[in-house]
Structure 1
């Protein structure tokens, strides 16, 4: 379905009339968990890469080696996830030291930005810790990640993110997918009123990005756009099931399709 048809079906108006109220082009950030994924995102036309490790568990800080190689080969903006462990977003002083060290590595390697988030035990933004991390980032851009989705009050969290000077916030609207959280995301977009970019992420695909664009009013979208890569079969190992299996990698064609759909909605 073309974007024109989708907008007409949902709003009963032409794309031109709808876009007059939107007024901003849309772009795609790709979450990449490897060098190959980052390069596929670039090949597919993504406007930015968020580099991380372990996407299956929500993402962790990538290794220095991965970061260095990606930085050398990538020609589009590179943001790096700073998250020292899985689980919640309430971090200890020692974990803050680790995160500061990782941020400083990003600065030294010439990355364009970092992706951060820290909460206190009450579920509010840990403003003190965030200020320390942002200070370590210097002139790098800062995205506040999906910690907002498990915060006590997403609306208040958004205001704190704005007060900290972050340039965007990644959110699924507090649900398991951005499509399920579209109503909340739309409310956050309206509340932000251009003061910060609200970027939907989680389950974004070619099958729903047009609906998300219309329902949320967002202009940046976050996706991993992955396909399964078949493992090389190195012989029969019938007693080992957790090593040497298939794995996921960003698919340049899926990225290209998402970028094309978003371009239709912005042209």
Structure 2
């Protein structure tokens, strides 16, 4: 079966690179440097206007950084965000919520899935903080998530191939396991061969050179940190590797 690539982006420039590189799906966020937060409606609208190939664009629902244990008030924020983003052209959503003990928070996930209906929802890498992944994957399936994004509970998918393969064997065709976390040209072949996953995820970014005022040598941007954007050439190479595996 053809393998698919989802590219995670947090700007219009990165989305254009993902489209140009042949990505099969976009995960749209803001603040990728913080692990990804809910994108603005304006960003989604601009991305969809540029999306001439009508590639699915899934929006992250995450209202703050830090853990995935949410208050009811935070869930209500994300429910409203989902409603707005649905109206602005989202094709799906990406979300995950846990209880303090590391189990999936079924009640809060149901609220988000209901708000997103009928659009598909992916359970994101909050899954990698579950204490009992082979049990919690069944909960995720029963809740109605269509995909789960995971590195196999390791810092990257290369190190997590054993659990990824175990989960893939366990779920069969009941949910799609998306392998993600630290995927690059060097380790992709190893991950593909050791998991046989059908979908892969990454941001595939490069450092963008900041503009300078030549007369004053002052950086014309945020001095707090560097800017990273998706690399169209790298995405194209990753897509080629997946399609020709």
TM-score by length of 2: 0.94
CA–CA distance in structure 1, aligned partners of residues 134 and 190 of structure 2: 23
- 1:9 corresponds in structure 2 to none
**Larger deviation: 242-251 or 228-237?**
242-251
2: CA distance, partners of 1:155 / 1:66: 36
- Are residues 124 and 244 of structure 1, via their aligned partners in 2, closer, same or farther at CA, if it must alter by over 3 Å? closer
Q: How many angstroms apart in 2 are the aligned matches of 1:217 and 1:83?
A: 29
Pairing partner for 2:2 from 22, 25, 31: 25
User: Is contact 2:39-2:60 (8 Å) kept?
Assistant: yes
2:40 to 63, 67, 78: 63
Q: Which runs of no fewer than 5 residues in structure 2 stay unpaired?
A: none
Which residue number in structure 2 is paired with residue 39 of structure 1?
Answer: 16
Q: Distance in 2 between matches of 1:39 and 1:46?
A: 10
Whether contact under 8 Å (2:10, 2:31) holds in the other structure is yes
CA deviation string 1:191-213 (max 9, x = no partner): 11111111111111111111111
Give the direction of change, closer, same or farther, for the CA distance of 1:241–1:49 in structure 2 (3 Å limit).
closer
Match of 1:251 in 2: 231
Within the candidate set 98, 105, 110, 1:126 is matched to 105
Determine which of 74, 81, 84 is the counterpart of 2:60: 81
The structure with more radius of gyration: 1
Q: What's the Cα RMSD here?
A: 1.7
**TM-score when normalising by structure 1:** 0.87
Is this contact kept in 1: 2:125–2:151, CA < 8 A? yes
Tell me whether 1:98 sits opposite 2:77 in the alignment: yes
Moved more, 136-145 or 66-75: 66-75
Match in the other structure for 2:128? 149
Distance 1:170 1:37 in 2: 20
Gap runs ≥5 in structure 1: 1-23
Q: Distance in 1 between matches of 2:84 and 2:116?
A: 10
Contact 2:211 2:221 in 1 (8 A): no
Q: CA deviation at 1:242?
A: 6.0
In structure 2, what is the Cα distance between the partners aligned to 1:216 and 1:261? 15
4+ residue segments displaced more than 6 Å: none
